[in-house]
Amino acid sequence: MTNELQATFADHKKNLIACLRESWGRGSREKPFDPERAWWLIEMIVAVMTKASSATPQELREHAVELAEALGTVRQILARTIKARPELVNQITWAWIWLATGGASAASILSGQTPTDGLGEKLQQAVDGVSALEPCQWNHKPRGNQRGSGRLPPLSLLLLAHVYTQTTELQPTTTETGHFMDFVRALRDTFDIPLGDDAVHRAVKIAFVTEKAL
Higher pLDDT, 169 or 210: 169
Backbone torsions φ then ψ of 144, nearest 5 degrees: 100, -170
Average pLDDT over residues 52-56: 61
150 pLDDT band, cuts 50/70/90, is low
pLDDT of residue 141: 43
Percent of the chain with pLDDT over 70: 67
Q: Which of 152, 173, 128 is nearest to 36 (CA)?
A: 128
- Model's pTM, two decimal places? 0.54
List Cα–Cα distances, 115 to 11, 101, 105, 127, 155, in angstroms: 34, 8, 12, 22, 38
Examine the pLDDT at 212 and tell me if it is beyond 70.
no
Gap between the Cα atoms of 66 and 55, Å rounded: 15
**Tell me, what's the pLDDT at 1?**
47
Q: pLDDT at position 53, please?
A: 58
Which residue type, as a one-letter code, is found at position 93? Answer: T
Burial class (CB in 10 A: 0-12, 13-18, 19+), 35: middle
Q: What is the pLDDT of residue 181?
A: 93
Give residue 190's pLDDT.
80
Q: Which residue has the higher pLDDT, 26 or 155?
A: 26
Average pLDDT over residues 83-108: 74
**Would you say 65 and 191 are in contact if contact means Cβ atoms under 8 Å apart?**
no
How far apart, in whole angstroms, are the C-alpha atoms of residue 5 and residue 191?
7
